[in-house]
């Protein structure tokens, strides 16, 4: 079965674990200790990971894929699930994956990390907070007109964008201000097999004070 190198505090890992779970694919979790210097992490992980980060998914045929959205893309293509139905929808899905990687992944995860783990410089944290609000507005404006990011139904775009949302409270973000986002998260929660991050990912190696990821 595929091996997922992961960490239970990583929403990028959660995206992959959630996609595998919703697709009904069994996988083995190998928690990586992010407190350790990259060069001191296990040899099998270092061999599989191009950038030294989690998540990495190693398929049964030996293909190792890193970068959460590249993994989601690979899963959708390999298992034929949670992708757009038409070529145009597949394009929309990948537009959202790129948006997530450039926008959302640069805001909410870092705000949460600064507010719940290792504090960033206050000016930097303020920048994360401002950017998070703008990104939530972008999502909200889109989700006023559609149940999922691509209108045909749930896709890897939703799985990617929701990766850190279930931890919004840890970033001290109150999603009551974004009701369309909350409703969308409710629809994701209602997907058959959905599980919350800490329920899905095995907790090992708590993040130590001062660790930066
Ligand atoms: N763009 C990457 C981000 C991955 C990432 O930032 N991973 C963090 C955990 S959330 C990590 O492995 N940090 C450990 C380190 O930097 O040493 C993705 O989408 O997978």
Cα–Cα distance measured from residue 62 to residue 53, given in angstroms and rounded to the nearest whole number? 18
Cβ contacts of residue 154 below 8 Å, gap of 6+? Answer: 82, 148, 187, 188, 191
Q: Quick check: is 206 in a domain?
A: no
What average pLDDT does the segment 124-153 reach?
97
Q: Quick check: is 210 in a domain?
A: no
Residues 63 and 148 in one domain: no
Q: How many domains does one find in the chain?
A: 2
Q: Quick check: is 211 in a domain?
A: no
Residues 99 and 59 in one domain: no
Mean pLDDT of the residues in the chain = 97
The pLDDT of residue 213: 74
The pLDDT of residue 139: 98
Prediction pTM value:
0.97
Helix, strand, or coil (residue 66): strand
pLDDT tier at 15 (50, 70, 90 boundaries)?
very high
Nearest-atom number in ligand 1 for the CA of 71 is: 20
Name the residue at shortest CA distance from atom 16 of ligand 1. Answer: 213
Residues 97 and 72 in one domain: no
- What is the longest distance spanned by two Cα atoms in the chain? 48
The pLDDT of residue 97: 98
67: Cβ below 6 Å to ligand 1? yes
Q: Quick check: is 209 in a domain?
A: no
What average pLDDT does the segment 120-135 reach?
98
Name the residue at shortest CA distance from atom 14 of ligand 1. Answer: 213
Residues 131 and 167 in one domain: yes
What's 183's domain CATH number? Answer: 1.20.1050.10
What average pLDDT does the segment 143-160 reach?
96
12: Cβ below 6 Å to ligand 1? yes
The pLDDT of residue 209: 81
Q: Compute φ and ψ for 58, nearest 5 degrees.
A: -110, 115
What are the DSSP calls for 168-192, one per residue?
A: GGGGT--GGG-HHHHHHHHHHHTST
Confirm if 82 and 159 have CB atoms less than 8 A apart.
yes
Per-residue pLDDT of 156-199, as tens digits, reads 999 999 999 999 999 999 999 999 999 999 999 999 999 999 99
- Among residues of the chain, what percentage have pLDDT more than 90? 92
Residues 72 and 95 in one domain: no
pLDDT surpassing 90 at residue 130: yes
Residues 182 and 112 in one domain: yes
49: Cβ below 6 Å to ligand 1? no
What's 43's domain CATH number? Answer: 3.40.30.10
Cα–Cα distance measured from residue 70 to residue 64, given in angstroms and rounded to the nearest whole number? 11
Residue 36's domain comprises: 3-81+195-200
């Amino acid at each position: 079965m595929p091996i997922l190198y992961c960490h239970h505090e990583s929403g990028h890992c959660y995206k992959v674990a959630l996609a595998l779970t919703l697709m009904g694919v069994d996988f083995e979790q190998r928690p990586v200790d992010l407190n350790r210097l990259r060069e001191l992490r296990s040899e099998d992980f270092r061999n599989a990971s191009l950038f030294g980060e989690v998540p990495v998914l190693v398929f049964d045929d030996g293909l190792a894929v890193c970068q959460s959205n590249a993994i989601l893309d690979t899963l959708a293509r390999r298992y034929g699930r949670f992708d757009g139905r038409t070529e145009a929808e597949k394009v929309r899905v990948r537009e959202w994956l790129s948006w997530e990687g450039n926008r959302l992944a640069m805001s909410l995860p870092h705000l949460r990390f600064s507010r719940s783990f290792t504090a960033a410089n206050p000016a930097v944290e303020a920048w994360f907070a401002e950017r998070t609000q703008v990104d939530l507005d972008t999502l909200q404006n889109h989700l006023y007109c559609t149940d999922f990011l691509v209108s045909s139904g749930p896709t890897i775009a939703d799985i990617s964008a929701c990766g850190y949302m279930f931890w919004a409270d840890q970033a001290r973000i109150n999603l009551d201000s974004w009701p369309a986002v909350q409703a969308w998260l409710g629809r994701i929660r209602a997907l058959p097999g959905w599980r919350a991050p800490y329920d899905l990912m095995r907790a090992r190696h708590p993040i130590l004070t001062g660790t930066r990821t």
